[in-house]
Structure 1
Amino acid sequence: MKLYIKNMVCNRCILVIENLVKDSGFHVIKTELGEVEIMEELNPEQIKLIESKLKPLGFNLIGNRKAQIIEKIKTSIIKLIHHSEEAPNINLSAYLTNLVNYDYNYISNIFSETEGKPIEKFYITQKIEKAKELLVYDELSLSQIADKLNYSSVAYLSSQFKKMTGLTPSHFKKIKEKKRNSLDYL
């Protein structure tokens, strides 16, 4: 049986969920962002037990098929941008269609209806969040960050960055450096 779980965004979440399910007496087959597969078929009481343990940790079970699709889309994009070493050089619509086995127009419509923004905007938001993270780490140049996130140019990354944050990447980096330096004096 697969349980679909909302708000899993990192490897630590996978570990927490896996341990929670095991500690509840169930056998985990596989855990990944957004879902855990267990050997047992759960009855409604067992599902409520797991749900009651998830909620205090900020997770929720997803029972609705549309919500499961949306969560799979979100976790797949997060995994692609934040947990992959390779540049996300893909056709997003083909990637997601293949992943969830539904027509892209269908998944795009339900995503927009539920989330209030198109899939592409969520994807761009995640890329900009990753760019912000990489800027703060200060290990890569802006050109290297653009390459890593598969932007066609630094100018295009800068344009999207400014559109999403209101700041240029260099201004963002200066602000973060000032905050970090001021914390060093505390």
Structure 2
Amino acid sequence: MFAKDVIIKRCSMNLYIKNMVCQRCIIVVKQILAGIGCETNDVLLGEIKLQEELSVEKFGLLTLKLNEVGFELIQEPNQRMVETIKKLIIEKVQTGFIEPHFTVSRYLKKYTLKDYSTLTKVFSANESCTIEKYFILQKLEKAKELLLYGDMAINTVARNLGYCSSQYFSLQFRKVYNYSPKEFIVAGAAARKPIDKVCLEYTKYP
């Protein structure tokens, strides 16, 4: 192998991280990497692109520091696939707009280049809910944010998140949380949940 090949290999080395769900997570991971002297090409949701291979000592320190703030390095391929699915769904939902005819199956197949049946099998085997339920729960948590801070009417939130009607949105909202969107607005921010915990929080969702 030529020296140039070694450099290319090292520059393309990626690490995958569980539980990164927002821009603040990226900032925290960048701070950890800087603190232990790791040079990177980029840090994305769920992924670190390293400039060079880590020593055993740095890898161990990085693992420890990430665990301290609730993150986890992923080495198993199926877990990496699950985190990729989560990342794609979160990124889509966080835009605050879901097209009327959007389907999560077509969306994931487009960006993972994998058959949806394979994705669902792997996801369900590693998580406490299906992809479809995870997508719904992420939409409902985004709805909470929009209802509290977006100054939007319930029917506008429902439409922006791809629901065919505000009635169906309210029905699904109550089915998951046991209270209506209007009741949530009264309860306020205390009723919100971290978006990386939705599967854990709502395993009883039918």
> TM-score category by the smaller chain?
0.7 to 0.9
- Kindly report the root-mean-square deviation, in angstroms, between the aligned alpha carbons of the 2 structures: 2.0
In structure 1, what is the equivalent of residue 98 of structure 2? 88
Work out which of the residue numbers 107, 116, 126 in structure 1 matches 2:119: 107
1:8 is paired with a residue whose SS is coil
1:49 is the counterpart of 2:36 = no
In structure 1, what is the equivalent of residue 33 of structure 2? 21
Unaligned 5+ residue runs, structure 2? 1-12, 192-206
1:167 is the counterpart of 2:179 = yes
2:73 is paired with a residue whose SS is strand
Q: Is the 8 A contact 1:18 1:36 kept in 2?
A: no
Unaligned 5+ residue runs, structure 1? 180-186
Q: Is the 8 A contact 1:80 1:88 kept in 2?
A: yes
TM-score, with normalisation over the residues of structure 2? 0.79
- Percent of residue pairs bearing the same amino acid type: 38
Look up the equivalent residue of 2:134 and give its one-letter code: F
The alpha-carbon deviation at position 175 of structure 1 amounts to: 2.9
Look up the equivalent residue of 1:167 and give its one-letter code: Y
Cα deviation per residue 1:115-168 (whole Å; 9 max; x = unaligned)?
121100000001111111222226000111112212111111111111111111
The alpha-carbon deviation at position 46 of structure 1 amounts to: 2.9
Work out which of the residue numbers 129, 141, 149 in structure 2 matches 1:117: 129
Look up the equivalent residue of 1:88 and give its one-letter code: I
In structure 1, what is the equivalent of residue 45 of structure 2? 33
1:41 is paired with a residue whose SS is coil
Taking CA–CA contacts closer than 8 Å with sequence separation of 6 or more, which of the two structures ends up with the larger relative contact order?
A: 2
TM-score, with normalisation over the residues of structure 1? 0.87
In structure 2, what is the equivalent of residue 73 of structure 1? 85
1:13 is paired with a residue whose SS is helix
2:15 is paired with a residue whose SS is strand
Q: State which drifts further: 62-71 or 21-30.
A: 21-30
1:59 is the counterpart of 2:71 = yes
Give distance in 2, aligned partners of 1:66 and 1:88.
Answer: 27
Q: State which drifts further: 167-176 or 156-165.
A: 167-176
1:36 is paired with a residue whose SS is strand
1:156 is the counterpart of 2:189 = no
Cα deviation per residue 1:45-83 (whole Å; 9 max; x = unaligned)?
43222101111111110010100110111122112112x
Give distance in 2, aligned partners of 1:12 and 1:129.
Answer: 18
Look up the equivalent residue of 2:182 and give its one-letter code: S
